[in-house]
Amino acid sequence: MKTTVLGLVSLLGAATPAMAQDVTDGALQFSRQCTACHVVTTPDGTTLAGRGARTGPNLYGIEDGRIASADFSYGDGLTRLGEAGASWTEQNFVDYLADPNGWVRERLDTRHVRSKMAYRLQDEGQARDIWAYLLSLDE
């Protein structure tokens, strides 16, 4: 069974994605590709996804949240974007995952920053499904 959050996303006023997103696939892809480094843990300490990995920041509440706002020692690229007040949106997330280094460099218009995330996800459909899954965890 496919669960879509298309209706929810438009209710929230976000841009309507071209394709319906699949939360179930997002959960699967997140556990396959992201939990080696990330957890999703609520402020009261309940872990909703992952197995305690600390290589990357906790991804709880990133939707529309400020970039680099978890308790984590971020690289200079995300830190500077966060300080400038930039937020995660679905499109930022998709573009960042496709090429973390390239994205922070383009955003800051300099080649002298790096992303500390040594992983790329170039399948846009999977990235959008993961975004929908992360959104569903915050309800």
Binding site for ligand HEC (CB under 6 A): 33-34, 36-38, 55-57, 59, 62, 67-68, 70, 74-75, 77-78, 93, 97, 115-119, 121, 130
Nearest distance, CB of residue 30 and ligand HEC, angstroms? 6
- Which run of H or E residues covers position 77? helix 76-83
Which has the closest alpha carbon to 99: 80, 118, 76? 118
Nearest distance, CB of residue 114 and ligand HEC, angstroms? 7
Give 1 or 73: the residue with its C-beta nearer to ligand HEC. Answer: 73
Give 6 or 53: the residue with its C-beta nearer to ligand HEC. Answer: 53
Give 20 or 75: the residue with its C-beta nearer to ligand HEC. Answer: 75
Nearest distance, CB of residue 112 and ligand HEC, angstroms? 14
Q: How far apart are CA 69 and CA 82, in angstroms?
A: 7
Nearest distance, CB of residue 47 and ligand HEC, angstroms? 16
Give 23 or 67: the residue with its C-beta nearer to ligand HEC. Answer: 67
If 0-12 CB within 10 Å is exposed, 13-18 middle and 19+ buried, where does residue 120 land? middle
- 8 Å CB contact between 4 and 20: yes
- Altogether, the residues listed in the chain come to a count of 139
Q: How far apart are CA 24 and CA 37, in angstroms?
A: 20
